[in-house]
Amino acid sequence: MLHIVTGNTKKFEKILSVIHSWIELKQVDLDVPEIQSLSVIDVSQDKAKKAFAILQKPLMVEDTWVYFDWYNQFPWPLAKQAFEWLWVSWMNALFDAIENKKISFKSVVSYIDASLDQPISFVWESTWIADFSHPNAPFNSKLPYLSFFRPEWKTSVASMLDDDFWKDTHHRVKAVRKFNERFKQEIEK
């Protein structure tokens, strides 16, 4: 049994849809204090270690951060707060004033069990673009950036993309698939 430490049911369902079918998963809503760091890998690994100290069972945590390339990778670990503070129209004005509209999403899956001294992390980063040319894009108040960020290789913003994108090419999916590759190799040894 692999414990997925998250209170986010959608995140758990996404991991469940991608992970090896022979791995039994259980969602665990565990409030783990998050260190303040500019490294998503450090934050993810620290959360995995703290959760393992409590559960003493094989587990995975997943963190995704967004970075704005032109702003020294702002908002670092503060993406959730930044999107709560910054209205979409203000974000539009910020992006309108700059040429480099690239945004990076970095997903980190950290795994730990009793055989490991330190968590193993699996990272996937993808480049997106700020795109305000879709004023009628569906809006999600919890994830407002989905209405004006699009993957670099797509022409539509995220809230307009079909299920195939979210199943196959999303950064969280890619990070979990890296985990899958590693553990498939372990079993085949």
pLDDT for the residue 116: 95
**Residues 173, 18 contacting (CB under 8 angstroms):** yes
Number of domains in the chain: 1
Residue 55 neighbours by CB under 8 Å, 6+ apart:
3, 5, 28, 30
86 pLDDT higher than 70: no
Give dist(CA 76, CA 70) in Å, integer. 13
Supply the mean pLDDT for the chain. 84
pLDDT tens digits for 32-60? 988 888 788 999 999 999 999 999 999 99
pLDDT category at 120 given cuts 50, 70, 90 is: very high
pLDDT at 6 over 80: yes
Residue 162 predicted with pLDDT over 70: yes
Query: What does the alpha-carbon distance between residue 6 and residue 109 come to, in Å, rounded to a whole number?
Result: 12
Residue type, 124: W
Helix (H, G, I), strand (E, B) or coil at 171: helix
CATH of the domain at 128: 3.90.950.10
Q: Which three-class secondary structure state does DSSP give residue 67?
A: strand
Distance between CA atoms of residues 63 and 110, nearest Å: 9
Helix, strand, coil fractions of the chain, as percent rounded to 5: 40, 25, 35
Beta strands in the chain (DSSP E): 2-5, 25-28, 59-68, 102-112, 120-130, 149-151
Range of the domain at 110: 2-188
pLDDT number for residue 170? 77
Q: What is the pLDDT of residue 130?
A: 85
